[in-house]
Amino acid sequence: MAKIERLTPEQIARFPEYVRRWTAIGLSTQLANREKAEDAIRRAYAAGGRPPPAKIVWCGSPLSQGLTRAIVLDAKFQTLVGERVRDSVWASVGASVGDSVRASVGASVWASVWASVGASVRASVGDSVRASVWASGYGSHDVNWLAFYEYFRTECGLREATRKLEALTDLSHHAGWWLPHANICWVSERHNVLARDAAGRLHAVGGPAVCYPDGWAIYAVHGVRVPAKWVEKPAELDPKTALTWPNIEQRRAAAELIGWGRIIEQLSPVIVDRHPDPEVGTLLRVDLPDSPGEQFLRVRCATGRDFVLPVPPDMKTARQAGAWTYGLTETQYRLERRA
């Protein structure tokens, strides 16, 4: 077969369909199809040159799956469980498919399909969901790269080169994460709740942004993970938290959940200095219940979001306070540009 150096306009026109279809698979909140998933797992082992696992254990979430495995391994049942096989399945399946598809496809075609299909699916699924969970075999969250190969398989006829991926592709349609060992394979249900904002970031107010059938949940506000109680009981969120929480992204999320109106109403900050440029910011003085005279710089980031930074009580202007946050003097702090 001749190397594919160019895609036809008809082939390129299929990109959006792949992104749409595979994003939907990655974001699916359906219960796993256990029968089909178990069949796919056995075929994935076979594709990796291994006998099927003696036992497939279903878990309600990636968390319980990871915990169950940790407990079993900790209890010195390793021989029962057998060695980890994810890497050997991956090495034999992933590398050989990658090499043979790459050999058949020109670099520019590879890049354009990745950019249009793989990267788009990754942006809408992988980074927003998988990053919020953690590492293993990702099942339905593997769609970002499986979609890429599926495109070549279906649209460019590379069926033979991608054959070893068929089981993993099927698994992505039917289950969540999986942890393959030689004798036991743990596999998880998919999330049954998944809420995102218009930009595709995990986001829900009033409940979890991600939830699994066993109740494990992730709470997030516009892509920033936050404690459950902030989202479940925002009325109990203390305005002081929105000014002093250690992580600045979570601090900003707290301010958003409380609302600046309520923060100002409850803490009555005094404006010490307001610079006309919101990116230089406003210097506020607040008497917190246990620490009077605290100063904060409220500043707009180049991404359009407002942040609050505690600054020393002897700051007189917003620019001086901004300079201090970078360890500079007010005279040195004259930015050409801000990204």
- Contacting positions for another protein (CB under 8 A): 123, 127-128, 131, 199-201, 222-223, 246-249, 291, 295, 301-303, 305, 309-312, 324-328, 332, 334-339
Q: How far is the CB of 255 from another protein (least distance, A)?
A: 15
At residue 112, φ and ψ (nearest 5 deg) are -70, -35
Structure tokens at 221: 């506000």
Determine the straight-line distance between the first and last CA of the chain, rounded to whole angstroms. 48
Cα angle value 250/255/260 (rounded, 5°): 165
CB nearer to another protein: pick between 79 and 331: 331
Instruction: Name the helix (H) or strand (E) containing 139.
Output: none
CB nearer to another protein: pick between 94 and 310: 310
CB nearer to another protein: pick between 274 and 305: 305
Cα 85 to Cα 44, 89, 99, 199, 225: the distances in Å are: 11, 6, 21, 36, 31
Q: How far is the CB of 19 from another protein (least distance, A)?
A: 15
Structure tokens at 107: 């670099």
CB nearer to another protein: pick between 213 and 223: 223
Q: How far is the CB of 34 from another protein (least distance, A)?
A: 32
Q: Are 174 and 187 in contact (CB under 8 A)?
A: no
CB nearer to another protein: pick between 171 and 321: 321
Q: How far is the CB of 65 from another protein (least distance, A)?
A: 22
Q: Are 159 and 32 in contact (CB under 8 A)?
A: no
Q: How far is the CB of 165 from another protein (least distance, A)?
A: 25
